């Protein structure tokens, strides 16, 4: 089988980096998207030392010129893309601790807008730019890295442990990302491209001040599994480690 070509946004650290590592160990050519050339080059070099075909791609998901340039480069160098992992995101809040997080009533629209620029609009920009390359794959996979905090069903259930984690910018951005996932999945139904949202679970990363109880590698395993789904796998689903989640 031809080696897979996978682009992971925000891959210089955290769950994105670990996802690149898992896919790379499985033989994929991994394109590590990063907005910092220095951090991206270092991350790609670290994976290359492990024998992985890892290449840094400059990609700031909020910068249309950078997104277009990345798509042009991948097209020119590799001609197609098999996997797109929309992983890059920002917390958009000062804290994940409900005791200290800013409540919605004191959250500025500007912060919500900034958070959506990366977590939602960035995904739309990157997906639209990469879709022509994904259409050239025999089995394209788009994985949007979402969160349980984007599930309106779970957030309105007082019995869920994170019920009090009421982070307006982040939670709303991930609910919007879930809606974005459904929209693309509908358009691409009947093609070779599957679009799903996944949650890695609560992992210790910079995003949450390393408060998560799972490792980034454990979270990445969920993301990577959705990136290599077989043709009989789900599309338009919200996937966690233990199965599907409610929207
Ligand atoms: P992280 O360690 O903070 O990594 C986030 C990555 O996104 C970094 O590489 C960051 O780059 C990049 N990024 C941010 N803005 C960007 C932009 N404009 N363009 C390109 N890259 C950008 O966080 P993480 O926990 O690994 O998060 C990865 C994904 O998992 C996110 O979608 C997050 O919402 C999701 N998630 C995480 C958890 C968790 O518990 N950690 C739970 C559920 C979902 P810089 O280094 O340049 O900032």
Ligand 1 pocket, 208 CB below 6 A?
A: yes
Ligand 1 pocket, 203 CB below 6 A?
A: yes
Quote the ligand 1 centre to 90 CA distance (angstroms).
6
- Mean pLDDT to the nearest integer, 86-96: 86
Q: Is 242 exposed, middle or buried (0-12, 13-18, 19+ CB in 10 A)?
A: exposed
**Positive or negative: CA dihedral 125, 129, 130, 134:** positive
Ligand 1 pocket, 143 CB below 6 A?
A: no
Question: Domains plus CATH for the chain?
Answer: 5-244 (3.40.50.720)
Quote the ligand 1 centre to 118 CA distance (angstroms).
10
Candidate of 92, 171, 205 to mutate for ligand 1, largest count of ligand atoms within 8 Å of Cβ:
205
pLDDT of residue 101: 82
| 142-173: burial string, b at 16+ Cβ within 10 Å, e else | bbbbbbbbbbeebbeeeeeebeebebbbbbbb
Q: Residue 94: pLDDT band by 50, 70, 90 thresholds?
A: low
Q: Which atom of ligand 1 is nearest to the CA of 90?
A: 14
pLDDT of residue 2: 75
Per-residue pLDDT tens digits for 189-215: 999 999 999 999 999 999 999 999 999
pLDDT of residue 99: 73
Active-site residues: which are they?
Answer: 170, 174
pLDDT of residue 1: 57
Per-residue pLDDT tens digits for 164-195: 999 999 999 999 999 999 999 999 999 999 99
Q: Nearest CA to 115 among 37, 151, 59, 167?
A: 167
Helices (H), 10-148: 14-25, 37-49, 64-77, 109-116, 122-134
For residue 111, is pLDDT > 60? yes
- Rounded-to-integer distance, Cα 216 and Cα 54, Å: 19
């Amino acid at each position: 089988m031809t080696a897979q070509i996978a682009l992971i946004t925000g891959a210089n650290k955290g769950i994105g980096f670990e996802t690149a590592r898992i896919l790379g160990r499985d033989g994929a050519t991994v394109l590590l998207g990063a907005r910092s050339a220095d951090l991206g080059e270092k991350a790609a070099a670290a994976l290359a030392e492990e024998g992985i075909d890892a290449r840094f791609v400059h990609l700031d998901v909020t910068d249309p010129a950078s997104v277009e340039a990345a798509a042009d480069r991948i097209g020119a160098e590799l001609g197609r893309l098999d996997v797109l992992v929309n992983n890059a995101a920002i917390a958009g809040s000062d804290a994940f601790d409900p005791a200290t997080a800013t409540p919605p009533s004191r959250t500025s629209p500007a912060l919500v807008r900034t958070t959506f620029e990366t977590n939602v609009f960035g995904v739309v920009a990157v997906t639209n730019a990469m879709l022509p390359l994904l259409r050239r794959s025999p089995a394209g996979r788009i994985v949007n890295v979402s969160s349980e905090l984007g599930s309106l069903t779970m957030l309105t259930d007082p019995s869920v442990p994170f019920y009090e984690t009421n982070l307006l910018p982040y939670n709303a951005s991930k609910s919007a990302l879930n809606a974005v996932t459904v929209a693309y999945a509908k358009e691409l139904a009947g093609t070779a491209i599957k679009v799903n949202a996944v949650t890695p679970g609560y992992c210790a990363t910079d995003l949450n001040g390393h408060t998560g109880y799972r490792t980034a590698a454990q979270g990445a395993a969920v993301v990577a599994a959705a990136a290599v789904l077989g043709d009989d796998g789900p599309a338009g689903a919200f996937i966690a480690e233990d199965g599907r989640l409610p929207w």
